[in-house]
Amino acid sequence: MLSRVADAIYWMGRYLERAENITRLLLVTEDFSTETQGLEESVAQTAWKDVLAILPTAQLTRPVSAFAALSQPYLTSFFLDVQNGFSVHYSLRKARENARAVREALTIEAFMSINEAFHAVEGYARKGLTDPPGLRDALGSTHKSIFSVIGAIDATFTRDEGWHFLKLGESVERIYRAALILRARLPALLASEPRTDLPLYYSQWRSLLRSLSSLENYRKAHGARLEPELVVTFLFFDAQSPRSLRAGTATIKECLERIAGGRDLTPAARLIGKLYADLCYADAKAVRRDESPAFLDGVVDALTRAHEALTAQYFVT
């Protein structure tokens, strides 16, 4: 397929996944901050500050008033502000721009659902929603409409090279963002001891699992009991849960292999293969103890270099 088309489809996959990730992160953080701000405002504050580490944004939208809810500027900025390079609005716009540029390479159903999802968010932005319940409601609808895009793609795309580039973009973005979420939240969580306020402590772990769409999957594997050790092992090394680092890396590896089609090992495949081996054979205990920040740095670095390698190989020809 055309290099330019592969490039656009890859980025469409990344931006769609990013839009979904941001939407989910906002919904989960908003829940957590509403629940905790009366009990322990600093914890709620920290949860929102972490969002800034995961989605490095230059400037937040100003709160509408001094009495606005803690979450209000974050929600407005990361949901609707199209100037913010990490907002849902911006990500969907980029996903649509890429889709529009290669429209003939997509199915009609896929393009139409992206188009609709984008126009809906554009509509919310035009209305200038500011109250958190309204924003929440719109975020919920947006989350659903992003899933219908993913469903339309899944149900109509032929599994050719274009599909593999789309899934490649999606999985690179997913694991990259998951690694950033873990890097922002894990050190503080592992350092804090469950003292008096047990419910708050567990609420933070639950929130971490939910921001990686993994709470229910974790419960299926380990039941409702939240053991920090089990949670970390699950998020890093589970072989089935789609947002665990290991399962996501396996998807990237598979996409790269399908695209290369049995030809020589490519530089990107080499990097991802090594990362996957680490995720299969690392000492889970050591990672849990105190090596997690270094390990996560390694994941982020490998993904960045793999992205550069595949860009050079496939998109700039």
Contact footprint for other proteins (CB under 8 A): 1-6, 97, 100-105, 108, 111-112, 115-116, 119, 161, 259, 314, 317
Minimum distance, C-beta of residue 216 to other proteins, in the bound complex (Å):
33
Minimum distance, C-beta of residue 317 to other proteins, in the bound complex (Å):
5
Minimum distance, C-beta of residue 116 to other proteins, in the bound complex (Å):
6
Looking at 84-160, list the stretches that DSSP marks H as alpha helix, in order from N- to C-terminal side. 88-101, 108-127, 132-156
Q: Within 13 Å of residue 256, how many CA atoms lie on the same side as its CB?
A: 26
State which H helix or E strand residue 194 sits in.
Answer: none
Task: Please say which residue, 45 or 115, places its beta carbon nearer to other proteins.
Answer: 115
Task: Please say which residue, 100 or 222, places its beta carbon nearer to other proteins.
Answer: 100
Q: Looking at this protein, which amino acid is placed at residue 151?
A: G
* Cα-based distances in Å from 277 to 99, 252, 310: 34, 13, 19
Task: Please say which residue, 31 or 116, places its beta carbon nearer to other proteins.
Answer: 116
How far is 54 from 214, CA to CA, in rounded Å? 18
Given phi > 0 = left and psi -120 to 50 = alpha, else beta, which region is 241? beta
Task: Please say which residue, 44 or 80, places its beta carbon nearer to other proteins.
Answer: 80
Phi first, then psi: what are they for 273, rounded to 5°?
A: -60, -40
Task: Please say which residue, 93 or 136, places its beta carbon nearer to other proteins.
Answer: 93
Minimum distance, C-beta of residue 157 to other proteins, in the bound complex (Å):
14
Task: Please say which residue, 164 or 243, places its beta carbon nearer to other proteins.
Answer: 164
Minimum distance, C-beta of residue 117 to other proteins, in the bound complex (Å):
11
Angle at 177 between CA 89 and CA 190, to 5 degrees: 130
- Check if the beta carbon of residue 249 is closer than 8 Å to that of residue 272: yes
